[in-house]
Chain A
Amino acid sequence: MPIQVIIEKCTGCTLCLKVCPFDAIRIMDAPRPSLKSVDIHEGRGKKAVINLDKCTLCGACAPACKFKAILLEKPETANQKPDISGYRGVWVFAEQKKGKVQPIAFELLSKAKELAAALDTEVSAVLLGYRLEEEIQELIWRGADKVYVLEKLELANYQDEPYTNVLAELINKYKPEVLLCGATSIGRSLISRIAVKIKAGLTADCTELAIDQEKKMLLSTRPAFGGNIMATIICPNHRPQMATVRHKVFPEAQCDMKRKGKIIYENFDGALLSSRSRLLDIIDEIESTVNLSEADIIVSGGRGLKAKENFKLVEDLAKALGAAVGASRAAVDSGWMPYSHQVGQTGKTVCPKLYIACGISGQIQHLVGMQSSKVIIAINSDPYAPIFKVANYGIVGDLFELLPALTKKLQEALKR
């Protein structure tokens, strides 16, 4: 049995029952224990019993038990443990679009430097694309000790198959112990495919990364259940240990133009570069100039704006602040804003430095998309709106007066 309760250690304290996301644990009279344990525990027979029809072996209960009474064991088999010796170095996949390395790569480099220091190893960036000369140097200035570069016309724009083939080939050739990638529309598609191709462990959408100094292992922490709980995940027996990281979680690595690094040009034959699917066109359509996921500031509007034309108040404020415009599901469903602006469970997950929620009540579906923002300001006419529970600053007031006044003030400040 891969999971079991050690009757002798279990005190029936209910801690495990409370953390089980699947309602699979009950405290009841334990199944007939051995004679010995009956002797020990006479008089207090209530124990944790796991319903194996409901248990998914998710592992939430074992670390929650203060008495180490829950054992979760992996059945080990001979070919179970691949050889992980010889994997060294921290890699960053440097995502580029239209020949420009994306800010997420610099954010990853700043964390990669910390991780590499803790592991006493070096940081490498992998850059795939076409005509990237200047970009390579910037990766070194921002912290890469090595940059692996493959420049091919077929790699000019991201495509799943050639990128997967080439990156997997590089991983097999150089064996990094850690690989970081942005949790972007590119990263989440690419690395999921890589994970299968090279049979490695992957933790998605991390918001914190650290090294377990004793085991020299990557600790990846990520939100689950829409950000309502956090989970720390390890990958003990497979390499590289891979993680995708959300935008704006780490600061960008600073540019040090004196830094030196090594550039390694790769060349692979054509078969790896072929793609069955074809990218026919790329269309940019975000009306406001700022991309929602990469924005430092987001001004979002909801049902409280009452009508489509009132969204202009939000857009004006966003413009004055240099912010991106977000919208609640209610606003998108009413046709006031396109879906690409929707923040929340069925839209985008964002974590800007500042999130200003205007006329958004704060349905949980919205909160899960923005509650990891660093600072939240909420403006709503209803003092009992749930948005105030997650806000650092709350204002109960009239949007139609406050927003124009605020925009005007900012515009004046800018003029000065």
Chain B
Amino acid sequence: MNIIVCIKQVPETTEVRINPQTNTLMREGVKSIINPFDMYAIEEGLRLKERFGGKVTILTMGPPQAESALREAISLGADDAILLSDRAFAGSDTLATSYTLAGAIRKIRDYDLLICGKQASDGDTAQVGPGIAAHLDIPQVTYVKKIEEIKDKAIRVERMTEEGFEIIESPLPALLTVVKEINTPRLPSLKGLMRSKQAKITHWTHKDIELRFENLGLSGSPTQVVKIFSPPPRESSQMLSGSIEELVEKLALIFKKELV
């Protein structure tokens, strides 16, 4: 069972804030990490490999520094890692990104299952996973919280919804996006850490993949950012105090006021 896991290196979201005085991004010493949701995708890939054999290939698109995310994935147990890095990819929105990743996956060719995190923590769009499936014209199941069974070239999974979940069966190859509930990611082993230091990371540019140049990067991206700003500040916060009875009265008044 050959699995490709698509990951993204993101700035640690919790540290990206806007300075309210200057209305600018505060970014001092922001660390780069593997998108938290992708950790579950990697873990699920590794677990399937342990059950069914085969290999796990990690794929990412990003600047050269994204190589460190791939090395981290290898330290967890992934077999191969491919970095798509090229100035031609810069400025990609979700359409161009999914196009580029799909092109690389076509080149890898031999795969049974694609796994992505449900969304990335910097953009929060959840669009690239389904986008890849659409480009490759394969079935997708989003928000997967459990893989129930894999047999006879088909997979049965539980898909999280607002009310509960659905049970969906799909032929392979297919693409899954996974949520946190699916597993608990492992920590790297010592052996894995040693291997990750020496592992060879494959680098591909647009020349290595069959892609239409005009569909890449900025020119392949229909959307454009025209403005960024900090969210409007919350009305000044008010601390309530008093005895329990007084607090209950005050809260009851607030409920009345806010819920009309």
Is A74's CB under 8 angstroms from B219's CB? yes
Distance, CA A349 to CA B37, complexed state (A) = 14
Q: Please, could you name 17 A-B residue pairs with CB atoms under 8 Å apart, sorted by A? A: A53-B65, A57-B91, A64-B24, A160-B141, A164-B134, A193-B134, A201-B221, A231-B225, A231-B227, A232-B226, A233-B224, A276-B170, A354-B258, A368-B14, A389-B237, A393-B237, A396-B241
Contact A54/B225 with A195-B95, A280-B169 known, Cβ cut-off 8 Å: no
A21 lies within 8 A of chain B by Cβ:
yes
B108 lies within 8 A of chain A by Cβ:
no
Is A2's CB under 8 angstroms from B227's CB? no
Chain B CB within 10 A, most for which of A22, A225, A349: A225
Distance, CA A114 to CA B256, complexed state (A) = 29
Is A64's CB under 8 angstroms from B228's CB? yes
Interface string of A241-283 (1 = CB under 8 A from B): 0000000000000000000000000000000000111111111
Interface string of B158-195 (1 = CB under 8 A from A): 01111111111111001000011100000000000000
Is B27's CB under 8 angstroms from A230's CB? no
Number of interface residues of A (CB under 8 A): 117
Is B219's CB under 8 angstroms from A60's CB? no
Is B91's CB under 8 angstroms from A402's CB? no
Is B163's CB under 8 angstroms from A291's CB? yes
- CB of A292 to closest CB in B, whole Å: 7
Contact A195/B127 with A21-B11, A284-B163, A285-B164 known, Cβ cut-off 8 Å: yes
Is B244's CB under 8 angstroms from A401's CB? yes
Is B161's CB under 8 angstroms from A233's CB? no
Restricting to B133-150, which residues have a CB under 8 Å from any CB of A?
Answer: 133-135, 139-143, 145
Q: Which residues of A contact B228 (CB under 8 A)?
A: 19, 60, 63-64, 224, 229-232
Distance, CA A99 to CA B217, complexed state (A) = 41
- CB of B132 to closest CB in A, whole Å: 8
Q: Which residues of B contact A227 (CB under 8 A)?
A: 231
Is A232's CB under 8 angstroms from B227's CB? yes
Is B123's CB under 8 angstroms from A224's CB? yes
Is A345's CB under 8 angstroms from B13's CB? yes
Contact A233/B124 with A54-B63, A339-B180, A394-B237 known, Cβ cut-off 8 Å: no
Contact A405/B225 with A57-B217, A192-B131, A396-B239 known, Cβ cut-off 8 Å: no
A33 lies within 8 A of chain B by Cβ:
no
**When the two chains form the complex, which single residue of A20, A60, A413 contacts B225, counting CB atoms closer than 8 Å?**
A60
Q: Which residues of A contact B163 (CB under 8 A)?
A: 97, 284-286, 291
Is B225's CB under 8 angstroms from A58's CB? yes
Contact A185/B142 with A2-B217, A201-B222, A405-B245 known, Cβ cut-off 8 Å: yes
Contact A193/B140 with A229-B25, A297-B259, A409-B252 known, Cβ cut-off 8 Å: yes
Is A23's CB under 8 angstroms from B240's CB? no
A37 lies within 8 A of chain B by Cβ:
no
Q: Which residues of A contact B225 (CB under 8 A)?
A: 58-60, 63, 231-233
Chain A CB within 10 A, most for which of B181, B225, B251: B225
**When the two chains form the complex, which single residue of B91, B123, B252 contacts A413, counting CB atoms closer than 8 Å?**
B252
Is B24's CB under 8 angstroms from A18's CB? yes
- CB of B97 to closest CB in A, whole Å: 11
Interface size class of B (residues with CB under 8 A): 35 or more
Distance, CA A405 to CA B237, complexed state (A) = 23
- CB of B9 to closest CB in A, whole Å: 11
Is A204's CB under 8 angstroms from B125's CB? yes
Interface string of A286-298 (1 = CB under 8 A from B): 1000011110110
Distance, CA A401 to CA B247, complexed state (A) = 11
B235 lies within 8 A of chain A by Cβ:
yes
Given contacts A185-B160, A284-B163, A291-B162, 20 further A-B contacts (CB under 8 A): A18-B22, A19-B24, A53-B65, A57-B217, A58-B225, A189-B140, A192-B130, A203-B223, A223-B124, A225-B13, A228-B18, A230-B229, A277-B168, A282-B166, A296-B259, A353-B258, A372-B231, A391-B234, A394-B237, A409-B249
Distance, CA A402 to CA B245, complexed state (A) = 9
Contact A347/B94 with A235-B223, A279-B168, A402-B244 known, Cβ cut-off 8 Å: no
Is A397's CB under 8 angstroms from B247's CB? yes
A395 lies within 8 A of chain B by Cβ:
yes
- CB of A361 to closest CB in B, whole Å: 14
Distance, CA A358 to CA B133, complexed state (A) = 41
Is A23's CB under 8 angstroms from B27's CB? yes
Is B18's CB under 8 angstroms from A402's CB? no
Distance, CA A294 to CA B163, complexed state (A) = 10
A340 lies within 8 A of chain B by Cβ:
yes
Nearest opposing residue in chain B for A221, CB measure: B227
B126 lies within 8 A of chain A by Cβ:
yes
Distance, CA A393 to CA B230, complexed state (A) = 22
Is A226's CB under 8 angstroms from B218's CB? no
Q: Which residues of A contact B17 (CB under 8 A)?
A: 228
Nearest opposing residue in chain B for A97, CB measure: B163
Q: Which residues of B contact A285 (CB under 8 A)?
A: 163-165
Distance, CA A161 to CA B133, complexed state (A) = 11
Interface string of A342-359 (1 = CB under 8 A from B): 100111010001100000
Distance, CA A29 to CA B15, complexed state (A) = 29
Q: Which residues of A contact B19 (CB under 8 A)?
A: 18
Interface string of A190-222 (1 = CB under 8 A from B): 001101110111111100000000000001000
Q: Which residues of B contact A278 (CB under 8 A)?
A: 168-170
B53 lies within 8 A of chain A by Cβ:
no
